Structure 1
Amino acid sequence: MDVPNLTDRQDRDDKLNIDHKNLKSSHNREQNFKQSVPKVLLVGYNGANNTGSEARLISIIKDVRAVLGPDVCITIPTLNEKNLRRYIKEEANLKIVPIPSIFFFALKKLVKEHDLVLLVEGSCYMDTWTSALLWAFLWTTKCANSSKIPCIAYSVDAGDLSPLNKFLVKREASKTDLIITRTKLAADKLKNIGVTAPIKNTADSAFTFQKDDNDETIIQDIWTKESLPKPEKSVVGFAVVDFYLWPVVIRPWGKSKDRYKWPYYFSRSKKRAKKSDDLSARWAALADKIIEKHGKSIALICMEELDEPLALNIIGKMQHSENAHIFTSNEFNTSQMTGILQGLELLITSRYHAAVLSLESPVPQIAVAHDPRLKGLYNELGIDKEYLFDYRLENAGKIVWDKVEKQADDLLGNPKKINNKLKQGYSQHLMGAEKNRQLLKEFLIERGWEVRP
């Protein structure tokens, strides 16, 4: 007879004890939850004066309250508390919690204090803006998984990733209890990477955002207030992004003008600065041609305050700058920015949420894209072949701007050309966005949570 290995037996007993403790801990959490108000943590790009993130957050808070009731306790962590308070009012059951730039310990602590974690940033699984943001979401998922706390990626996107980040997404995102993507393209990207978590495809939460009716005439009021030529023939909007600021990288030190928030710095160099200046010149030339050929005014729309330097540079290079005005998220809230977007005759955008928030009107639009997000949306709208131009594939050359100008001329001459596609697309995406709430409800019911009927 073989003699049992006492060390193996001890290891097995220790493992059983650990598993029992985890099971007991999870059971106690469920019991405590049933006896108290649930606590929900919303982790995203909160407080950045970003119109899209603002629209998403407001809509998601409404979703959570619709499913779990008005008394649900919501916590929103942020790197910029002051900005977040501009559009989120702290209440007894809604807390804003500042976290440091080195976020690992703070997020881990917050996760353990909550019953449910939602990743609410649209640009969740991509490193276009910065790897640090991606790592924050993956770290949050890892902490939730380790603590047996349910975690949902709520109406998110997937995009460009380095080989290292693909590996990390495959490993950590697979630990998510449910991933809801806002486009089919995003869902396919995650599956192709090898993410094994359950994935559902719906639409962006911002589609359910509703502006205040009082903000509908804001663009006309601004033109009058600033003594600008009255835009009697309406306005063409440019939602611009400086592609050459990104990604934000981690450095122990750098130039103060390039610092986003220590230790994060914009990817600045002489070469990048030159390309940024060339980008401004291209936008300025397009604006002047539209003013000269069609008699339109130009609204430079900064969906994030970081877009303002590029917009100022564009106006500085325009020959007809008196016919242009900057509208920025630093000055206007999401309701007002949505009113501006929906009052346009034509939108030419590099910003995903400018496309989303203008769609209800529906405003004819053209995309000058620098990552896959607009590609996914335009593909579902059925307008990607004619009206989406990938700035990277065109090598930022004159050819892309010639094509954009041609399509702008076409849509200004025949604004109803894609009207039906935009209307149908908005209707479908609105239904998809409303499905997010239903998926959240079903997810919680399966786990024995009490939800509103």
Structure 2
Amino acid sequence: MKLPRVLICGYYGYGNGGDEALLLALIQELQQLPNPVQPVVLSRQPAQTAASYPVLACPRFNGLALQRCLREAEAFVWGGGSLLQDRTSWRSPLYYLGVMGLAQQLRQKTFAWAQGIGPLDRAWIRNLARRSLAGCTAISVRDRIASDLLEHWGIPHQVAPDPVWGLKSKTLPEWEAWPQPRIAVVLRQHPQLTPARIESLGQGLMQLQVSTGAYLLFIPLQLAPQGSPELGADYRLAQDLQQRMPGHSQILDIRDPCLLKGSFQGARLAITMRYHGLVMAAAEGCRCFGLSYDPKVKTLLQDLGMPGWDLQEIPTDPETLHQAWLTCYENGPALSSAEIETWVQRSAQHGEWLRQQLSWE
């Protein structure tokens, strides 16, 4: 018997650890449906996606294949993450809005799942996003920024923490061999992360390593697509910083989302720019210090009660960086086991909601 197909659309097949973690969390939720379905994922690297997960995959930019997958699907899901934002590019939200529009024209069940909406700086994209979201069968979002925007637009929705909170972590075989104490560093390229700021960050990390004797784990979340001869932007930045460090350090190259999350286990401190670096580290009980390039990171830091700076406010003095990180390393807040379990249970609401919506006789 042919299973009902659920077409999943997101930033998949690009080597982004956070988005791949969201995809795995969504697949695991679909596997808990009382009646089985066949997930089909739109991916930049469909062969790799199909080899990595129990799914079928479709090339996201092949128009004929995409239309065929849409016609064959019973439901369409915008996978989680910040798909609807035009700060980095207007083309990206236009793609997602276009595919959602096609699904709605086919009168499918359409869902926006675990979304972080915005920033939407262009009025015409805001208007398109508003109409598209208003046409969805149901919506869940992962933060109060997205929730406030939908409330302003009068669009019903559910809100719960990011589903990656609930993703089960796995431990790398070499995990126990890594020296203690450990500090995890998760940085990303960004226009506001200027060469001068990178230099200050590098000097601050050098002083922090000398003060603590810590083993630095550089954890790039944006790797190059698998098989690419090039290195991902996050990895190149990690290499630049690692070569400055006076003590032992390591750059991790991990694509399995569960192993990626597990790499934060036992870290005394995580210094992170990336949103899912913050989610994974906090979920593993780390003290965290955030460098916010986006409102979603700042909002999560506030919700967690953890320290950080906006990227444009990073001090230029390396000693100021060093002292702030050292204070967090020694006495910074970390979530208790009970608090982590609360975040995990709340994040499960995305899956519970989706399973209620997806039902076939």
Tell me the TM-score normalized by structure 2. 0.88
Is 1:290 paired with 2:208?
yes
Q: Distance in 2 between matches of 1:333 and 1:243?
A: 24
Q: Distance in 2 between matches of 1:130 and 1:41?
A: 24
SS of residue matched to 1:203: coil
Q: Distance in 2 between matches of 1:424 and 1:376?
A: 21
CA contact (8 A) 2:6 2:40 kept: yes
SS of residue matched to 1:368: strand
SS of residue matched to 1:236: strand
SS of residue matched to 1:430: helix
> Which position in structure 2 is the counterpart of 1:218?
174
Q: What is the Cα deviation at residue 127 of structure 1? A: 2.2
SS of residue matched to 2:155: coil
Q: Distance in 2 between matches of 1:112 and 1:353?
A: 33
Q: Distance in 1 between matches of 2:31 and 2:245?
A: 50
> Which position in structure 1 is the counterpart of 2:228?
none
Q: What is the Cα deviation at residue 104 of structure 1? A: 5.5
Is 1:172 paired with 2:132?
yes
Is 1:391 paired with 2:311?
yes
> Which position in structure 1 is the counterpart of 2:190?
243
| Cα gap change, 1:390 to 1:108, in 2 (>3 Å) | farther
> Which position in structure 2 is the counterpart of 1:362?
285
Q: What is the Cα deviation at residue 427 of structure 1? A: 2.4
CA contact (8 A) 1:177 1:198 kept: no
Is 1:418 paired with 2:341?
no
Is 1:207 paired with 2:165?
yes
CA contact (8 A) 1:237 1:301 kept: yes
**Higher Rg of the two aligned structures:** 1
Q: What is the Cα deviation at residue 36 of structure 1? A: 5.7
Q: Distance in 1 between matches of 2:72 and 2:250?
A: 46
Q: What is the Cα deviation at residue 285 of structure 1? A: 0.9
1:113 to 54, 69, 72: 72
Is 1:97 paired with 2:58?
yes
Is 1:405 paired with 2:322?
yes
| Cα gap change, 1:370 to 1:43, in 2 (>3 Å) | same
| Cα gap change, 1:114 to 1:68, in 2 (>3 Å) | farther
The count of aligned residue pairs is 351
Q: What is the Cα deviation at residue 211 of structure 1? A: 2.2
CA contact (8 A) 1:239 1:302 kept: yes
Q: Distance in 1 between matches of 2:321 and 2:145?
A: 24
Q: What is the Cα deviation at residue 41 of structure 1? A: 0.6
Gaps spanning 5+ residues in structure 1: where? Answer: 1-34, 224-230, 245-271
Q: Distance in 2 between matches of 1:180 and 1:105?
A: 29
Q: Distance in 2 between matches of 1:333 and 1:36?
A: 29
Is 1:130 paired with 2:130?
no
SS of residue matched to 1:171: helix
| Cα gap change, 1:356 to 1:182, in 2 (>3 Å) | same
Worse overlay, 140-149 or 277-286: 277-286
1:309 to 236, 240, 244: 236
| Cα gap change, 1:283 to 1:169, in 2 (>3 Å) | same
Q: Write 1 or 2 for the structure with the bigger share of helix.
A: 1
| Cα gap change, 1:355 to 1:199, in 2 (>3 Å) | same
> Which position in structure 1 is the counterpart of 2:227?
none
> Which position in structure 1 is the counterpart of 2:226?
none
Q: What is the Cα deviation at residue 340 of structure 1? A: 1.3
| Cα gap change, 1:39 to 1:127, in 2 (>3 Å) | same
CA contact (8 A) 1:138 1:173 kept: no
> Percent identity, aligned pairs only?
19
Q: Distance in 1 between matches of 2:19 and 2:214?
A: 30
CA contact (8 A) 1:366 1:404 kept: no
Q: What is the Cα deviation at residue 333 of structure 1? A: 2.0
Counting only pairs closer than 5 Å after superposition, residues 50-61 of structure 1 correspond to structure 2 as 50-61=16-27
> Which position in structure 2 is the counterpart of 1:326?
251
Q: Distance in 2 between matches of 1:158 and 1:402?
A: 36
Would you identify which runs of 4 or more consecutive aligned residues in structure 1 move more than 6 Å? none
| Cα gap change, 1:83 to 1:129, in 2 (>3 Å) | farther
| Cα gap change, 1:209 to 1:187, in 2 (>3 Å) | same
2:151 to 186, 191, 197: 191
| Cα gap change, 1:36 to 1:220, in 2 (>3 Å) | closer
> Which position in structure 2 is the counterpart of 1:437?
351
Q: What is the Cα deviation at residue 197 of structure 1? A: 3.4
| Cα gap change, 1:355 to 1:165, in 2 (>3 Å) | same
1:405-448 deviation digits (Å, cap 9, x = unpaired): 3332112222xx523x4545422321122111221132235xxx
| Cα gap change, 1:346 to 1:140, in 2 (>3 Å) | same
Gaps spanning 5+ residues in structure 2: where? Answer: 224-231
> Which position in structure 2 is the counterpart of 1:339?
262
1:168-189 deviation digits (Å, cap 9, x = unpaired): 2122222222110011222113
1:240-273 deviation digits (Å, cap 9, x = unpaired): 10012xxxxxxxxxxxxxxxxxxxxxxxxxxx8x
Backbone CA RMSD of aligned residues: 2.4
| Cα gap change, 1:422 to 1:124, in 2 (>3 Å) | farther
| Cα gap change, 1:85 to 1:108, in 2 (>3 Å) | closer
